[in-house]
A and B are shown apart, each in its own frame.
Chain A
Amino acid sequence: MTVTVDKPPRTHGTDEVLGVEGLVQHFIGRRSWTDRLTRTPEHVVKAVDGVDLTLATGETLGLVGESGCGKSTLSRCIMGLYQPNAGQVRYAGEPVRGLPTRAQRRTVQMVFQDPYSSLNPRMTVGQTLGELLRYHRIVPRNQVAARSHELMDLVGLPHDALRRTPRQFSGGQRQRIGIARALALQPRVLIADEPVSALDVSVQATIINLLTDLRESLGLSMVFVSHNIAVVRQVSDRIAVMYRGRIVETGPTEQIFNDPRHPYTQLLLASVPRMLSSTTDGHPIDATESLGTADPLAVVDGEPDADESPYSAHAIEGEHGCRYRPRCPVAMPACVDEPGLLPIAHDPTRAAACWHVDDDRKDEPR
């Protein structure tokens, strides 16, 4: 019997658990006094350059983009690890002023990318969890051990794991510990920054499934940051595509995959390597035949040189206009004005930062 399991539609509230408004995070390169004397201009990296986001209760937002697009910086700004230059972050409708307070910290927690560096190598798992449970007074002191056991159960690790140090675990197990640490504070929102990209594919699946389970059983909201588009599609209800510090397209996952509106989203989705489709199944393939991506979009050449790196390129004085314009196949004179996120006429849940947003072009991703 062949069984196809569809992703069940989940209902979630419309109340906002996390909000980001006009967030700007620029990093200014260190200037020595000789730079000042010679009036060398400051080197500004516009990692996040004006981002608005909202996350509803129970929703999973996939944040996708390529390296250097600012998605990790954005997630760290949300976590209060950086103090943004401008803009506001709201936890459960309440603005974060300066750094999040102790109470606010409990609302939003993070799962990190590298399971090998994200755990303190000199503390046992029990010490790591116990410290948080005690400091935030999550449970009375005499129940810390019991709560730690519950957390281990939650992430599918045996209780004796509490007595071990991180180096005694595999990558996948460490990532479970990282998840348990985030859950220790009973957050409402989980920010997962590339949580599976350092893991082997078979282990990735277990972590993705675990996050999916936890989201459902604990009613968590999640921001899932990844460069892996297949993984993001698997876990997200809604997607935001980032390019050079800005969100260029946002909308429900299915709609974006079926009908991407921003040219960058189209390129991104077309570039994802796909398993050969069933049409070639079982047929021997001629070795001399081209098996490369046939889509012309996939061979658009427009990657900037490193010294014109993604973020600094836009920082060059006098450069303006749509940040995708240099690579864009459908750029036009109007693109010298950078569009904000424009709503799509027939679908109010979607928006794209492109003047072509409502063009009736049917550019399917493949």
Chain B
Amino acid sequence: MSPLLEVHDLHVEIPVPHGHLHAVRGVSLTVDAGESIGVVGESGSGKSITLRALLGLLPQPAQVTKGSIVLDGVDVTGLPERRRTKVLTDAMSMIFQDSLTALNPVMRVGDQIAEVPRRRLGMSKSAAHARAVELMDQVGIPEPERRFRAYPHQLSGGMRQRVCIAIALSAEPRLILADEPTTALDVTIQAQVLEVIDRLRRDRRLGVILVSHDLAVISQTCSRIYVMYAGRVIESGRIGDLLALARHPYTFALLRAVPDPDLPVHRLLTIPGQPPDLAAVPAGCSFAPRCAFAEPGCYEVDPALTPVPDDPDHASACIRVETAPQWLDWTPADVLDLVEKT
């Protein structure tokens, strides 16, 4: 059986004065029905742009310059634009970070949820109303009948994000794209909203692509993870494998740069420097200038994402991928030494 969605070698470029900003540089990913995958990366890594490119929601003047999207084993890239948009929007819905701006401020939330069933699915007014209330109930909005009549600003952040999820579900998608859906929410509410998304995934066998900067959020809700850096996927694999033994120095460092609420440490590992300017990406591995483990060869070739020895599901774009197990054994002094050298 073919996966629900496959993306192959997606490239997105944004024209800027004097050239192009290569925001996404060859991203490939797959999602199965009922599977939740995470895309993690820092700002500018291209994670949100990738998501938007899938739905044709790229901000002007960004453009997909290369790549293919395969839905249920059918390549939709070659379809005429209108047909392709229809196929993609029928299959996927998106949830945004800021629920306040994602909702129409002058329309009752219930009407916003009922809009797609009524207009696109052709339901009667009362059926659409009933459907909206049902969806609100499914995303855990208490007293859905009462809140149907509320305007977005009258609801709390958590409730608004649930409304957004209900709207996303109203089109009966098979895949949900969630762009930092809980970043704007308080931590106690975040847990609830993630729980709603996870429950829907299980109950409806939805595919979920969750984009976040928060590794912990992704580790709790996704089974597989793609780590993005400077517009590329630099490591991918099952979440447990990645957390146990990251095969790319960026992932390795990122995991140790985030404080653990249960295990405070004296010092956090830091990543020196900044991501490269995507308008002029230097030759070689884009992480090399910041990498504690970089060697001369890293500045010459940009390694492709290749499977790790003995684990075909785990891939890393690092030429030192085979020595990764030894990284764990390095002493602080070793790393210090390497940092000094670079």
Contacts and interface: CB of A to CB of B under 8 A. Distances in A.
In the complex, A touching B (Cβ < 8 A): yes
Given A273-B217, A291-B223, A3 B332 contact: yes
B267 A170 contact: no
Nearest to A69: B186
B187 A229 contact: yes
B257 A306 contact: no
A2 B256 CA distance: 14
Interface residues of B, number: 69
B271 to A, nearest CB: 4
Contacts, number: 192
Contacts of B274: 170, 172
B220 A293 contact: yes
Interface in A247-279: 253, 257, 267-276, 278
Interface string A298-332: 11110111110100000000000000000000000
Contact of B243 (A2, A202, A230, A276): A276
Nearest to A286: B223
B89 interface: no
A234 B329 contact: no
A227 B186 contact: yes
A7 B331 contact: no
A190 B332 CA distance: 30
B258 A272 contact: no
B220 A303 contact: no
Given A200-B42, A202-B271, A299-B192, A276 B239 contact: yes
A201 B251 CA distance: 12
Contacts of B21: none
Given A208-B259, A301-B142, A306-B155, A273 B220 contact: yes
B195 A288 contact: no
Nearest to A253: B264
Contacts of A227: 186-187
Contact of A205 (B216, B239, B270, B329): B270
19 contacts: A1-B331, A6-B266, A7-B265, A66-B187, A202-B253, A202-B254, A234-B265, A273-B214, A275-B219, A275-B243, A276-B220, A276-B239, A282-B244, A285-B238, A292-B195, A298-B191, A301-B192, A306-B154, A307-B154
Interface of B: 32, 34-36, 42-43, 140, 142, 150, 153-159, 186-192, 194-195, 198-199, 202, 213-217, 219-223, 238-241, 243-245, 253-255, 257-262, 264-272, 274, 313, 328-329, 331-332
